[in-house]
Structure 1
């Protein structure tokens, strides 16, 4: 028959069990404190596709494609294509001045790079708070999420110059379109 080696168990010292449980409680509280401290309370920007180059500043004009949603996934806004051809004078995307949007969105835009795709989460305090725009689908105290593609950005001065050139191009085209075409060609 096989004999099992016996190892005698030593008694636990008085107070050791209490110290062990106190250590476990301290570790759990420390872990909970670290987890609580790491929960973001401000704007977060998650990178989906890395962009390149510098980041826009507060006075720059960005050209973006975006979809804005509420916490339950309801879409409240979407960028639209410009309703006229731009002839490549201005980039694709919806033009917006960084300083002209809600503070949380401006903060998020300044963390992006050209060509990148991002998800921006904006807490209500950095969006519209308890006073969303009138007749808006955004309820009071709503957190907002934006899927954003940063097509391009430029200084306000450059954007103004390009929009003026676009306006001149459109006026020239309208001038040509409004000129009389002459009598219709005879029917055969």
Structure 2
């Protein structure tokens, strides 16, 4: 049986868990849980702050600068990995590279005389999206449910590719970061400056 056996203890523990989870979102080298605990206790017991406000502000600035530098280095690394991947991928037989840098290869073909979507078309597709290391971040195929969307309402790499396809085509897209989510990334699954890989099947123009 849990030692947190009253509503008060459970909520108290929950507050601590929330604080811990918040710290995990952006940890930094040298983070001291002991000092965090002391800070909580001192605040709760109304103990005078032992740190000069100016010193505290300067310390925050130092840590922010370190975190920013580490993030910039990580983003540079991701961009480099994506670029290296695309450069090697472009050498493979069957891979086509467009003027924008988008790469694709044909897995299956529809009717070559079929109609291609316009930029303002709505299409129905199946897709399977991964990072360059194969990690899946989104897949209508796995959900078993195709999706409809506007050609001009998705990332630039998709917008470009869809206008080259006809219903029945299934292509594998290799999308550089500047044609995907760029410096912003997309949630936790797709970081900044990451190249992406999609298998896209154009089912229909709606």
TM-score in terms of structure 2 length: 0.48
Equivalent residue in structure 1 for 2:116, among 46, 55, 58:
55
SS in 1 for 2:157: helix
1:144 matched to 2:205: no
Is the 8 Å Cα contact of residues 60 and 98 (structure 1) preserved in structure 2? yes
Whose radius of gyration is greater, 1 or 2?
Answer: 1
Mark the runs of 5 or more structure 1 residues left unpaired by the alignment.
1-34, 83-92, 155-188
1:71 matched to 2:123: no
Cα shift at 1:45: 2.1
Cα shift at 1:54: 1.6
- Count of residues in correspondence between the two structures: 108
Distance 2:147 2:117 in 1: 15
Give 1 or 2: higher helix fraction: 2
Is the 8 Å Cα contact of residues 45 and 111 (structure 1) preserved in structure 2? no
What is the 5 A alignment of 1:25-104?
40=97, 42-52=101-111, 53-79=114-140, 80-81=143-144, 93-104=146-157
The runs of 4+ residues in structure 1 deviating greater than 6 Å are none
1:114 matched to 2:186: no
Distance 2:188 2:155 in 1: 14
Distance 1:112 1:71 in 2: 23
Distance 1:126 1:42 in 2: 8
TM-score in terms of structure 1 length: 0.53
SS in 2 for 1:142: coil
Cα shift at 1:55: 1.0
Mark the runs of 5 or more structure 2 residues left unpaired by the alignment.
1-86, 92-96
Considering only aligned residues, what root-mean-square deviation do their CA atoms show, in Å?
A: 2.2
Q: Which residue of 2 aligns with 1:129?
A: 182
What is the 5 A alignment of 1:176-187?
none
Query: Relative contact order: is structure 1 or structure 2 higher (C-alpha 8 Å, sep ≥ 6)?
Result: 1
